[in-house]
Structures are given as structure tokens and as C-alpha cells.
Chains A and B, each alone.
Chain A
Amino acid sequence: EVQLVESGGALVQPGGSLRLSCTAAGFTFSRSWMTWVRQAPGKGLEWVANIKGDGSEKDSVDSVRGRFTISRDNAKNSLYLEMTSLRPEDTAVYYCATLRGSSDTRYFDYWGQGTLVTVSS
């Protein structure tokens, strides 16, 4: 059974930093693209960042580029999101998910339960 468990969410002041973790089980983590998606309170979903299985390719949305860094440790079956220069608009539940696909389809299939990040003074 695939399991994804996020942790690290907290209340942080504007300008602060935080590292989110996502621990994976039940699939071959090192071969899987992974992604972070966030959802502000009462709002819709926003894709944040992707990383390839071996960590060689990464991409992120413009609003976090230069502030957030996605990384992984395949020996620990763990995905990370290092967040710096946090802003109130970064307040959201952050989900990690597996990203699967082929030549004509690409989708987030398994999701964690989410971890809440609140940026406020």
C-alpha cells in the first residue's frame, strides 16, 4: 500500500524559513517523480514543484522560484520542500504526491494527508 506522510508544518513569521518533509512507503521511491501541491485556506489547488526520481530535474512555479527548493533523499525515501523568505500568501496546506505518466498522460495519483504552514506575525 502506498503511503505518503508529510510533516514539518508550523506557524512561522513572515521572512522566516521552514522545511517540509514527506516520507514515502509502498512503492519504488527512487524511480518516482514527486510533486508538491498547496491549498490556501478555503481556496483552490496550486502546483508548487516537481522533482525527478534521481533528483536530476526540478521545476517550480514562478511565485516560489528562488525561495523554495525541492529535494529528495532516496536512501531515506524522503521528499523535502525547503521554504525561505516566507510570505503570508504562502499560508496553505502543503501536499506531496506521486507524479506518474507516459507519452500521453501525466497525473498526480497518490497524495499525502497534507501539512499546514501558517505565515503570520
Chain B
Amino acid sequence: DIQMIQSPSSLSASVGDTVTITCRASQNIYTFLNWYQQKPGKAPNLLIHGPTTLQSAVPSRFSGGVSGTDFTLTIRSLQAEDFATYYCLQTHKTPYTFGQGTKLEIK
């Protein structure tokens, strides 16, 4: 199975900061990487797929990057509504696998 190592597991930041979350795949997953945001008690929300394509209606302060098997989610100018848990997901091969999640908290 493909392992997705996500870091950090938690992150404290302030409104207006820029943060970056990373996922490393255990093998080549090409462009089959997606990012989700999840708030407590809610379903995950797709932010980015492909791994740099912003889903419609997602603010442009969210962006995705890739370098080999390392994928990044960057959030610029953090807003209050961005404090949530973020997950990466590889869909190159089944079983599709998620990263462990990053909880973004207000400092």
C-alpha cells in the first residue's frame, strides 16, 4: 500500500500568517494527490486536486505544490475560518490512502 506521511500533525498560527503542510508519498503517485479541509462534525471539503488545481469556490489563498513525491498545501494570509484539520489523499492506486491529518489551531 502507498503510505502518505503528513507533517506536521499539529500547527499553531495566527490570523494573517502563512503556513505550509507537507505530504510525502512512499512511492511515485504522479499527480494523484488531493487536499481536504475538515471542520468538527462536518464532512471533508475538497480544496485542491491534481495536485495544484484549486477546486471551484475555494479561495485563492490556498495553493498546492509538488516536488517529486513531496506535496505541499500552502495557506497564505490565514483567516479565522481556516482553522480546521487538513488531510492529503492519494488516488493513484487502491487502497486510496489519506495522510494522518494536520490540525491547524489559533495561536
Contact = CB atoms under 8 A, between A and B. Distances in A.
B11 interface: no
Interface in B1-59: 30-32, 34, 36, 38, 42-46, 49-50, 53, 55
A104 interface: yes
A106 interface: yes
Given A46-B98, A104-B50, A107-B49, A112 B43 contact: yes
Contact of B53 (A37, A45, A46, A105): A105
Nearest to B30: A104
Contacts of A46: 98
Given A45-B44, A112-B43, A105 B50 contact: yes
A113 B31 CA distance: 28
A44 B94 contact: no
Contacts of B74: none
Interface of B: 30-32, 34, 36, 38, 42-46, 49-50, 53, 55, 87, 89, 91, 94-101
